[in-house]
Amino acid sequence: MRKKEILAMLLAGGQGSRLGVLTETKAKPAVSFGGKYRIIDFTLSNCVNSGIDTVGVLTQYQPLLLNQHIGIGIPWDLDRRNGGVTVLSPHVKGESGEWYMGTANAIFHNISYIDNVDPEYIIVLSGDHIYKMDYSDMLASHKAKRADATIAVLEVPLVEASRFGIMNCHEDGRIYEFEEKPPEPKSNLASMGIYIFSWGILREMLIKDHGIHEDSDFGKHIIPLMISQGRPLYAYRTCGYWKDVGTIESYWQANMELVRAVPDFNLYEDYWQIYTDTGNQAPIFTGPNAETRTSLLSEGCEVYGTVINSVLGPDVYVGEGTIIKDSIIMSHTHVGQNCEITRCVIDEHVHISENVKMGTGENVPNEDKPKVYDCGITVVGVNSVIPPNVNIGKNCVVYGKTCYRHYNDDNCLPSGKTIHLESEVSL
């Protein structure tokens, strides 16, 4: 392999537990977004659009779907002899295998891969954020300032700064302090979790910190260590759309923003394309009585009912007389006739029978996981089945191939209730 100026290391092993059943069988970066895309597509597309042609994707939690989606990198033009994409899972060393214990620990365990590429710089990225960014501009800033590390930051309202890792800087942008979720923040420069390092320096830091912290993390350990040594770390200010879709509400909201007449985040700009593996899909078909308003429909959708302010993934079927509002319906899902689906998130390969009502009733938090399902959104997990004539409330969770015995006597699942049939779900 020829020497590369920069290598991207994409952290994609997170569970994303705040997304509830959406990440029960897949890693957060593999969750569908914006109809035909998956969350990881945005970071991979940023790499390609920035001229980065060598990417290591670090997987761990439920990697099967993510591995299948990435494949050999064809949709992103990363199927290359020299460079391309490489999926890096935890592996056995010596007599035992080790899980990645932190963000920096994951990079440490792949030092041999990085040494083989032999880059001058590496950029460390998260695979679970939605944004567009030209990393080449950030690299140019890193080189111009002769930095050991450059950290992308975004200005946030000061009243919200306590929710983020905050970089405190001098006027020239040099970082003198990092505070993780400070109760009284000194600045509003929030870390985006995007780092460029000079590889020789980072390699030294990783080895040193591994001897101290088994769960070595960039925010908790590596960045503070470099600051304490007086190394030149600089903030790279950016602006524009950037979302961490880490909760049900933020995930739903980010999808709903896409259906606006002029969305803040445009999926279809010619100069900055978002690539994904879509396969061969039929065109969209709408029946004679169908109605679609302010919605995003993907290839292969077949709509006979009404779809309002919603996002539909590829190969979604909507039966006649059905009304879908303010909802996300993921790929290969069937919604029967005369249903009412309001403010719901429906995962892939779900079958909803006729005359089903979802998202009705009072907005009470979910009994089992009130901190995950508390915003009035009902969620249906992958491969689930819902029988005919069922009413499902708000903040409900349905996961599995359900039948009437799983519901109340009146075929109802009241708001805040859960049906979770893990053993009956076909993966």
Q: Is 127 helix (H, G, I), strand (E, B) or coil?
A: coil
Q: How many CB atoms lie within 10 A of CB 113?
A: 15
- Mean pLDDT of the chain, nearest integer: 91
Q: What tokens does 371 get?
A: 């901190």
Sign of CA dihedral 156, 161, 167, 168: positive
Q: Cα separation of 245 and 255, whole Å?
A: 9
Averaged over 213-220, what is the pLDDT?
A: 87
Averaged over 33-55, what is the pLDDT?
A: 95
Q: Is 42 helix (H, G, I), strand (E, B) or coil?
A: helix
Averaged over 373-393, what is the pLDDT?
A: 97
Per-residue pLDDT at 91: 61
393: closest CA among 371, 422, 423, 419? 419
- Is 154 within 8 Å of 164 (Cβ atoms)? no
Q: How does pLDDT run across 123-144, given as a tens digit for each residue?
A: 999 988 999 999 999 999 999 9
Q: Cα separation of 414 and 244, whole Å?
A: 30
- Is 38 within 8 Å of 276 (Cβ atoms)? yes
90 Cβ partners below 8 Å, 6+ apart? 60, 97, 98, 99, 100, 109
Q: How does pLDDT run across 148-196, given as a tens digit for each residue?
A: 999 999 999 888 888 888 999 999 999 999 998 889 889 999 999 999 9
> What is each CA distance from 35 to 18, 127, 311, 333, 404, in whole angstroms?
21, 18, 6, 12, 31
Q: What tokens does 199 get?
A: 């590889």
How do beta strands 302-303 and 296-297 pair?
unpaired
CB-side neighbour CA atoms (13 Å) of 12: 32
Q: Is the pLDDT of residue 13 over 60?
A: yes
Q: Cα separation of 319 and 276, whole Å?
A: 28
Q: How does pLDDT run across 99-132, given as a tens digit for each residue?
A: 777 889 889 989 999 999 999 999 999 988 999 9
Q: Is the pLDDT of residue 426 over 80?
A: no
Averaged over 52-80, what is the pLDDT?
A: 88
Per-residue pLDDT at 26: 92
Q: Is the pLDDT of residue 375 over 50?
A: yes
Averaged over 10-17, what is the pLDDT?
A: 84
Q: Is the pLDDT of residue 422 over 80?
A: no
pTM of whole model > 0.75?
A: yes
Q: What tokens does 202 get?
A: 């980072």
Per-residue pLDDT at 169: 94
344: closest CA among 391, 299, 284, 303? 391
Per-residue pLDDT at 120: 96
Which one is predicted more confidently, 74 or 152? 152
Per-residue pLDDT at 93: 62
